[in-house]
A and B are shown apart, each in its own frame.
Chain A
Amino acid sequence: MLYERFKVKAEAVSGEVYRFTDRSGAFLWLVDFLKREGVGATPENSALWAAGTFLTDGERDTFRGAGISFEVTKQAAATARFGISQMAWGLADTGTLAGNSTDIDQRLVSSLSTIHIALVPTAGILPDMPSLFSHLHPRDCAYLAMITGPSRTADIERVLTIGVHGPERLVIICIDEYAGGE
C-alpha cells in the first residue's frame, strides 16, 4: 500500500519507479537499462556507482563487466551520465527518497550526474516525514538528504524545466529483498 502511494507521488513529480522482488532481478534490469541508455567507456557516457558496502565483490565484478565504475571522484561524477546510489528510505506521501548522505560519494553521484538511479529497499518506504525523523536523526547523520523527483526550475517565465544543476532524470529501483552483500 505504501509502495503504491509512493509510486504515484514519485511519478507525479517525473520520477521513474520500478519494483523488483530480489536483487538479482533488479541488477539484471539495471544492466539492461544502462545498455539501452547507451552506457559506454567515454566520460560522457560513463556510469558511476557509489556502492559503499552494498555490493559483494562478485557483484562488483559483474557490474564492472557491464561498464560501471566504482571509482567516485568529483571530476568523474561531473561528467558521468549515470550516477547510482542507495537511499535507505522513501516517503509515500510526497514520493520522496531520503537517506544519510554524509558519504560524499553518495552526494557526488546523485547531484552531478545526468541520470540518477537510486536503489531503495521497498520496506524502507515510510508514510511521511515525521516517521522518517523517528528513524533518521541528525545526531547520527551529518548530511540528511531528501530527493523528490529530478532537478527542476521555473525561473524563466515560470515554465517548468527539468534538469538544471542536478540530474534530469531520477530512476528509482525498489527492491523487496534488499539485503545482500553487506
Chain B
Amino acid sequence: MGKAFKDSIQRALNNGNLTGALGAFSEAYTVNRAKAYEGIDFEELRGKIADLKAFAAANLKPLSDEFTRNAEARGATVFRSDDPAAVRDYILRIAKEHNVKRVVKSKSMATEEIHLNAYLEKAGIEVGETDLGEWIIQLAGQTPSHMVMPAIHMTRDEVSDLFSTEINERLTSDIPRLVKVAREQLRPRFLAADMGISGGNIAVAETGSIVLMTNEGNARLVTSLPPIHIVLVGIEKLIATFADVATILKALPRSATAQQLTSYVSVITGPTPNPDGTMKNMHIILMDNRRTEMAADPLFKQALQCIRCASCLNVCPIFRLVGGHVFGKVYTGGIGTILTAWFDALKQSEDIQSLCIQCGACKDVCPGMIDIPGLIMELRRRLVREQGVPLVMKSIYAVVNNRSLFHGMLRAASVAGKPFTSGKFIRHLPLFLADLTDGRSLPAIADVPFRDRFKIINQPRCAEKVVFFAGCLIDFAYPEMGEALITTLNKAGIEVLFPEGQTCCGAPARYSGVYEVAEQNAIDTIKALMAVESTYVVSACPTCTVALTHDFISTFESVGQTGWRKEAEELAAKTLDFSVLITKLVEEKRLTFQEGKSLATITYHDSCHLKRTRLVSQQPRELLRRAGYQLSEMFECDTCCGMGGSYSLKMPEISAPMLQRKIRNIKATGAAVVAMDCPGCVMQIRGGLDQDGANITVRHSVELLVDTLQ
C-alpha cells in the first residue's frame, strides 16, 4: 500500500468536519431510507431492476443502435465513441463551430470521468457547474467527495468564505442566505450560456429519450435556456423500454436521498424550442470507455446494473470514516472502486480495494442487486494474479498452508507469547497476528489448544454423530467455546467428532486474494471433514461456515478446480451454523431450556457473515431469550465491529474507530453482557472493551446457552 494513500486516509480520519457530516448523514440515511421504502417490496423491485439492467448490459450494441435510430429520427445528433479523447474533441469541435464562450453544466459523472471541464477551460471556454454542491467544490478547486452530495465534506463556514471571496462581500454562514447567493450568482450565467452540458440518469432505447433528475432545478435550466444541449451518457445508462423508466425512478430517489421523487424529472426526446423560438441543437454522446468490455466479463457485467444511487457509499461503515477523496478523483465508494478499476485501470484500484472490509452492508441495499463485495474480492484476486503477493504475506501463507508447521508455530507462540501476557490478553502475537496497534488487546494463545483438550473430553457414546469444525480462533485462542459446544450437543444425545486433519478454512488467504492457498486449505478441510460419517458439520465461527458453505465452491470456480467440486457441494449441504443447529434441536424437543430462569440483561452484536451471508439473525436472539436473558438491542447492532480478519492488521487506523463506535453503542445499552456468534468479533470487541476498561462481559452465544439447557 502506497504511503500517499495511507496519508490520505489519515488526513480524512483527522478531518472532523468530514467524519462528523458523513457519520450524521449515514445514521439519518438508514432511518429515512427505510421510511421512503415503506409499503414497497424492495426485494421485488430490485429484482425487476436487476433483470432489466442485466438485459440492457447484455444488449449494449443493439440498444445503442436502437437509441441512435430513435433519437436521430427525432432530430438529435448521436455520437458514439469508445474513446474519452474523441468525446472531448467532439464537444470542443461543436463549441468552436458555434463560437461558444460560456457553458453551463448540470451534474454529470461521465464528464468527470473524462475530465471535460479542464479540457474546455484550456481551450478558453468558461465552464460553470450549476449544481450547488458541484459549484462549491469548483470554487474551492476540489473534487467531489460523494457521488450525490459532492460538497458534504465542507462546513457552512467554509462555503461562506468561498462565496464571500467570489462576490467580494462578507457573508455570514446563514445557509438560506448562502443558497440565495448561489441563485443570484448563477442565474445570469444560465441566461448568458451558449451551451448546456448534462449527463443523463437513464437513456431509453425504445424512444431515444434522456431522463434527468434534479432537486435544484438546474437541469431544467441547462436543457431549456442555451441554444445547444450536449448530453454525455455512459452506455450503461441505456434501458430497453420507456415503461422501465418508472421502475428505476421508484428506486433511484429513495435509495439516493431517501426521497420519494426528486423535485424535478425531465424526459427529453429530441430537440425542443429555445426561448427565442429556434429549435435546440441537441447532441447525445453515447460513451463506451470499456463498458462493452465489462459487459463481456462473466463476473463484472453485473456492475453495469448500477443506477448510480450511491447507497453503497451511504451504508458503508468505512466510507463514513474516510469519505470520497481517498478513492481518487471520480467514482467513489464500493461501486466506485469497481468502476475505477475498469474505466481507469485495474492498477488504480490496488490501494482503494483494500478499504473494503467485506461486511456486505452495501450488497443488502443495492437496488441493482450488485454483489459489490464479491466483485471487490475478484479485483483483489486479479491484482494478486497480476502482481503477486507481497513477500511477507507469502511467507505467512506458506506457513498456513502447511498444517503441522502452522499448528506447531501456534503452539510455540503460546509459550513465546507468555512474557507479554497480562491477565487474559497480550499486546503482541507472533506470526500473522503481529503488529496490531493500540485500541485493542489480543487474546493469549491457549496453553492447551482445543485439538488437545478434545482428546480428554469424556463424551457419551451416541448413535448420532456431528462433526465440529473449530477454525483457528476456537482451536488456538478460545478452546472453551468448543468445549461448551460439545457439552451442549451431548445434552441432545449427539456425539461430537473432531477430525484432526482439519486446518484453516482459507478465509485469510481468500480475503487477501491469494486463491491458490485458499484452494489448498479448502481441499485439506474437505478431505478431513468428509472422511468421517456424520449427520451435520457444525461451526461456531460464521466466517468458517461461509467458507465451508460458499467460499470453497467459489474459490474452486475462480481457479478452475473441478476435481473437488462434488465433495465441496456435499460438505456445503451438511454444514450448519451453531445457532441454526441448536434452534433445530430445540424445535425437535431434543434440547429443552431449564424452566423459569431470569438471567442478565444482554445486548447482541450481529456478525457480518452470519447476518448477511448466512441470513441468520433471529435464531441466536430467540435462543438467548428463551434461555432467560433480557435482550436490550444496541444502535447499529449489525454494523461491522472492524475485525474483518486480516483487515484489522492492514487497516488498523480504520478498524480502530469502527471498534470504538461499536463499543460506544454496546455501552449505551447498559447491558452487562454482549453476546455474539463469531470468535473473531469476540476477539475484536473483548480486546476493545478491555482497553476501554468497561465492566462488560463478551461472550459467544454458545457460552451463554450451555448451562441454561437441560
Contacts and interface: CB of A to CB of B under 8 A. Distances in A.
Contact of A164 (B156, B218, B271): B218
A108 B187 CA distance: 13
* Interface footprint category on B: 35 or more
B221 A165 contact: yes
Contacts of A142: 74, 268-272
The residue in A129, A155, A158, A164 that gathers the most chain B C-beta atoms within 10 A of its C-beta is A155
A78 B191 contact: yes
Interface of B: 21, 24-25, 28, 74, 130-133, 136, 149-152, 154-156, 159, 175-176, 178-180, 182-183, 186-187, 190-191, 204, 207-209, 215-218, 220-221, 224-225, 242-243, 245-246, 249-250, 257, 260-276
Contacts of A96: 261, 265
27 contacts: A96-B261, A104-B274, A107-B220, A108-B275, A111-B217, A129-B250, A133-B246, A138-B208, A139-B269, A143-B272, A145-B264, A145-B266, A145-B267, A146-B265, A147-B264, A148-B262, A150-B263, A151-B216, A153-B216, A154-B257, A155-B150, A156-B136, A158-B25, A166-B217, A166-B220, A166-B221, A166-B263
Given A148-B263, A156-B159, A143 B268 contact: yes
B263 A158 contact: no
Given A130-B243, A156-B132, A103 B183 contact: no
B20 to A, nearest CB: 10
Given A107-B220, A154-B149, A164-B182, A144 B130 contact: no
A158 B24 contact: yes
Given A108-B224, A155-B149, A9 B260 contact: yes
A112 B183 CA distance: 10
B179 A161 contact: yes
Contacts of B183: 163-165
B216 A156 contact: no
A12 to B, nearest CB: 8
Contact of B245 (A94, A133, A167): A133
Contacts of B215: 151-154, 164
A159 to B, nearest CB: 5
A152 B190 contact: no
A138 B70 CA distance: 11
Interface centre among A93, A94, A133, A153 (most CB of B within 10 A): A153
Nearest to A166: B217
Given A146-B264, A158-B24, 12 more contacts: A73-B275, A74-B276, A104-B275, A144-B266, A144-B269, A145-B266, A148-B262, A148-B265, A155-B132, A156-B151, A165-B217, A166-B220
A96 B260 CA distance: 10
Given A157-B155, A158-B25, A164 B179 contact: yes
A141 B151 contact: no
B592 to A, nearest CB: 50
A64 interface: no
A35 interface: no
A159 B674 CA distance: 36
Contacts of A145: 220, 264-267
- Residue of A104, A152, A158, A164 with highest tally of chain B CB at under 10 A: A164
Most interface-central of B178, B207, B265 (chain A CB within 10 A)? B265
B177 to A, nearest CB: 10
Contact of B175 (A147, A148, A151, A157): A157
Interface range, A side: 35 or more
B178 A156 contact: yes
B179 A156 contact: yes
Interface of A: 9, 13, 73-75, 78, 93-96, 102-104, 107-108, 111-112, 128-130, 133, 137-139, 141-159, 161, 163-167
A165 B132 CA distance: 9
A182 to B, nearest CB: 20
Contacts of A166: 216-217, 220-221, 263-264
Given A146-B261, A154-B257, A166-B263, A133 B272 contact: no
Contacts of B274: 104
A154 B150 CA distance: 11
A111 B196 CA distance: 16
Contacts of B242: 133, 137-138
A102 B273 contact: yes
Query: Most B CB atoms within 10 A — which of A129, A143, A154, A157?
Result: A157
A158 B26 CA distance: 11
A150 B182 CA distance: 16
B266 A151 contact: no
A156 B263 contact: no
A104 B273 contact: yes
A165 B216 contact: yes
A152 B132 CA distance: 10
Contacts of B130: 165
B173 to A, nearest CB: 9
A139 B242 CA distance: 10
